[in-house]
C-alpha cells in the first residue's frame, strides 16, 4: 500500500509555490520523498520559504523566480527547468488572484485581463510547455488549484469564479486529449481554507456565521487537507482519477 503514495524520484513543479496551500503541499510531498521545483515571483521570498523547511530536506527544493503572468518569462523558466531537471512528472498550479469584488457590470477590461492572465492563461501556457515532454515519457499528472467559486454563481467575485470555471474545463479537455498518453489532469476546488488569502473573510464575523451555517462540518478547512488531496492526485494511488474537479469544502456546496 505504501508504494501507492510514494513520490521518490518524481520531479514536481509547483507554480505559486510560496502560497499557503502550495507550502502545505510541499510539506506533504517532501514527506513522501519528492523532488520539488518551485516557481514564484520573487527569489527572496522563495529562499525565505525554503529556509522554513526541515534543513535535511533543503536539497530536494530548487527555486526559480518568474514573472509567470508574462508568456516569455514562462517560456524561459520552463526551458531552464527542463535543462536542469530533464523532465517534470507532476505539475501543480497554485497561483491565483481574486481580482475586484463587486458587480459584474463594474468589471473593467483591465480587470478581466489581469485575472484571466494569472488564473487561466498562465496555467494553460504552462501546460502547453510541459505536456510534450510528458508525452515522450508516457507519464504525467497536472493538478490545478481552482475554487468552489467555479461551480456556483457569485454575486461579488464573478470574474474570479469565471476564471476558475474555465480552469476546470481546461483540465477536463486535457484529460480527454492526453489520457491516451497516460497523462492525467484534475482540479481541486477548495472551500474556505485557513490561509492569508481568506483572512479578510475569516475575520468577518457576519460572513463566518453565514458560511459555517451552510457548511455541514461547521468549520474552516486546513491547507493540509488540500495538500492531502493533491497527494492522491499526484501518486499512483490516484492513477485512475482524471478529468475531475475534486471539491474540498466541508460540504458547503451540497448544503441546502
Are 138 and 185 in contact by the 8 Å Cβ rule? The answer is no
Burial (CB count within 10 angstroms: exposed 0-12, middle 13-18, buried 19+), residue 244: middle
Starting at the earlier edge strand, list the strands of the sheet with 140-145.
61-65, 35-40, 11-15, 90-93, 140-145, 183-190, 245-248
| 64 a catalytic residue | no
In the chain the beta strands, taken as DSSP E runs, fall at: 11-15, 35-40, 61-65, 90-93, 140-145, 183-190, 245-248
Separation between Cα atoms, residue 194 and residue 208, nearest integer Å: 12
Select which of 64, 93, 139, 160 is catalytic: 160
Question: Which residues are catalytically annotated?
Answer: 160
Amino acid at each position: 500500500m505504501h508504494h501507492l503514495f510514494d513520490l521518490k524520484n518524481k520531479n514536481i513543479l509547483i507554480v505559486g509555490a510560496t502560497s499557503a496551500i502550495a507550502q502545505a503541499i510541499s510539506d506533504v510531498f517532501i514527506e513522501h520523498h519528492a523532488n520539488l521545483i518551485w516557481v514564484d515571483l520573487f527569489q527572496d521570498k522563495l529562499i525565505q520559504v525554503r529556509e522554513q523547511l526541515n534543513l535535511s530536506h533543503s536539497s530536494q527544493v530548487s527555486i526559480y523566480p518568474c514573472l509567470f503572468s508574462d508568456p516569455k518569462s514562462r517560456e524561459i523558466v520552463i526551458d531552464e527547468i527542463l535543462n536542469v531537471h530533464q523532465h517534470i512528472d507532476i505539475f501543480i498550479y497554485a497561483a491565483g488572484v481574486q481580482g475586484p469584488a463587486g458587480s459584474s457590470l463594474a468589471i473593467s477590461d483591465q480587470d478581466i485581463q489581469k485575472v484571466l492572465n494569472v488564473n487561466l492563461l498562465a496555467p494553460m501556457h504552462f501546460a502547453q510547455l510541459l505536456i510534450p515532454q510528458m508525452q515522450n515519457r508516457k507519464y504525467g499528472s497536472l493538478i490545478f488549484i481552482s475554487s468552489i467559486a467555479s461551480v456556483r454563481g457569485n454575486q461579488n467575485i464573478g470574474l474570479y469564479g469565471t476564471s476558475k470555471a474555465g480552469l476546470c474545463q481546461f483540465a477536463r479537455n486535457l484529460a480527454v486529449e492526453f489520457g491516451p498518453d497516460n497523462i492525467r489532469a484534475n482540479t481541486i476546488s477548495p472551500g474556505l481554507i485557513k490561509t492569508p488569502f481568506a483572512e479578510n473573510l475569516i475575520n468577518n464575523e457576519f460572513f463566518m456565521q453565514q458560511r459555517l451555517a451552510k457548511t455541514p462540518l461547521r468549520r474552516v478547512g486546513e491547507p493540509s487537507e488540500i495538500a492531502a488531496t493533491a497527494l492522491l492526485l499526484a501518486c499512483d494511488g490516484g492513477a485512475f482519477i482524471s478529468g475531475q474537479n475534486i471539491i474540498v469544502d466541508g460540504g458547503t456546496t451540497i448544503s441546502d
